[in-house]
Amino acid sequence: MAATRTRITAGLLGLTLGLSTMPAAHAIDFGITNGLNPIIDVLDSIEQPAEDIAPEVPAPLADIGLTGTRITAPFHQDPGKIRETFGAPGPHPIASTVPTIDCTPIYALYNQILRFNHGNNVPPECYGVTPEGPNPAIGFQFIYPTDLAEGQRAPLIVLSPGIGSEPGMVHHHAEFYASHGYIVALGYSVANWFGEQMDIAALGANQADRDPSSPLYEHVDFSKMLLVGHSAGGGAAVREAGMIDKLLHSVGRTEAAVAGAVGINPGPSDFGLASPPSPVPTLVLAAEHESLVPWPVSKLAYDRATGPKWWAIVRGAEHGLYLDAGDTNIYDALVISFADYTVRDDAEAAKVYVGPDNWLSQDPELRDVTSS
């Protein structure tokens, strides 16, 4: 089974590397999506309401987090101690293997949905993947600190967006993590469901670390990896927590080990039918106002995990809020505090997760915090 999985993933990696050298058609050049522009222009001229407009939802649905499709005001929560402590960008200058661009019609419309139904304040940018750009829709990118000395290694974060999300929409989060001294391998496959996108990104990082022409040459520390994903990617991150190190072992990266996993509004992935439970410290975050993934589905990842684990609901959040600017909410601060705790054994970060007075259980931006 492990050998088969390695061959499949290696094949996907080869396909990804091959696609990166092939010219891709711009759908927008053919006018396929130009018809969306008038709709986007109209929506762009409409202000978000000052307060959320929420439908009446039956109690059984509200009790599992399904609060319906809401018309949302711009999200705002006063920062608690976690965001005040861990929410600022780090000191490291950063670079990436591809720049972001303004999203073109399909994803510009997606951004309007994020604005009106998920409370987003700032539209994320895009990579320009097919069908609206020249870049392959299956692949990986690296976002990394540029001040590493020769031979100095930095911990690896493997990051995944959700199903159907343009991968550039999580690039700003990768930049934030890189500014704190982490190398980020951002993997994507359109579906982003079972973790193949994270496998591709990890194998790509392995190749880059061994390539003298790569900016990551002998810079990637695989010994304490953190897996992070949103939505379908969140389910994939927790699914991969017990497997991705073994994949890297199979290609000679014997030191590879997963230090932790973060699932943000995670989907169910394979419902645990074809993967081991997460054996590492696992943080699972849910949105208070869900329209896509009910809490019990996200909680599958938490319930199955056999290592130390934490569950929390982000107050006022919608499913797509993670795609908003990182300084508007607690998500990035939670990811960095969890990374610093699990990867770097940082004493300040440990205060968030350890002890009877842990900050997680007391932060005003969170509710229903549990751990075991």
pLDDT at 8: 52
Work out the mean pLDDT of the chain and round it to a whole number.
92
Residues with Cβ within 8 Å of residue 224, at least 6 apart in sequence: 155, 257, 259, 342, 343
Q: Residue 343's Cα: distance from chain center in Å?
A: 17
- pTM metric for this prediction: 0.92
Nearest Cα to Cα of residue 129 among 190, 40, 56: 190
Strand order in the sheet with 282-289: 94-96, 139-145, 183-188, 154-160, 220-230, 258-264, 282-289, 309-318, 366-371
Using DSSP's 3-state secondary structure scheme, residue 303 falls into helix
Write out the residue range of the structural domain in which residue 90 sits. Answer: 2-371
pLDDT at 31: 57
pLDDT at 272: 87
Range scoring the smallest mean pLDDT among 22-36, 102-116, 195-209, 343-357: 22-36
* Cα 279 from Cα 90, distance rounded (Å): 29
At 145, the pLDDT band (50, 70, 90 cuts) reads very high
- 327-348 average pLDDT score: 98
Preceding peptide of 294 cis, ω within 30° = no
Residues with Cβ within 8 Å of residue 56, at least 6 apart in sequence: none
Q: What is the pLDDT of residues 197-223, one digit of tens each?
A: 999 999 999 999 999 999 999 999 999
Q: What is the pLDDT of residues 158-182, one digit of tens each?
A: 999 999 899 999 999 999 999 999 9
76, amino acid identity: H
- 178-188 average pLDDT score: 98
Q: What is the DSSP string of 318-362?
A: EGGGGGS-GGGSSHHHHHHHHHHHHTT--HHHHHHHSSTT-HHHH
311, amino acid identity: W
Q: Domain total for the chain? A: 1
**Sign of torsion over alpha carbons 337, 338, 339, 340:** positive
pLDDT at 23: 38
pLDDT at 274: 87
Tokens read off for 42:
């109209």
Strands 139-145 and 154-160, by their bridges, are unpaired
At 247, the pLDDT band (50, 70, 90 cuts) reads very high
Q: Which residue has the tokens 């982003």?
A: 192
Residues with Cβ within 8 Å of residue 131, at least 6 apart in sequence: 25, 27, 32, 33, 106, 137
* Cα 148 from Cα 139, distance rounded (Å): 25
CATH code assigned at 220: 3.40.50.1820
Contact 274, 331 (CB under 8 A): no
At 36, the pLDDT band (50, 70, 90 cuts) reads confident
pLDDT at 6: 53
Residues with Cβ within 8 Å of residue 188, at least 6 apart in sequence: 129, 137, 138, 139, 140, 160, 161, 167, 197
CA atoms within 13 Å, Cβ hemisphere of 313: 19
pLDDT at 35: 82
Give the E-state strand segments of 100-217 in sequence order: 139-145, 154-160, 183-188
pLDDT at 14: 55
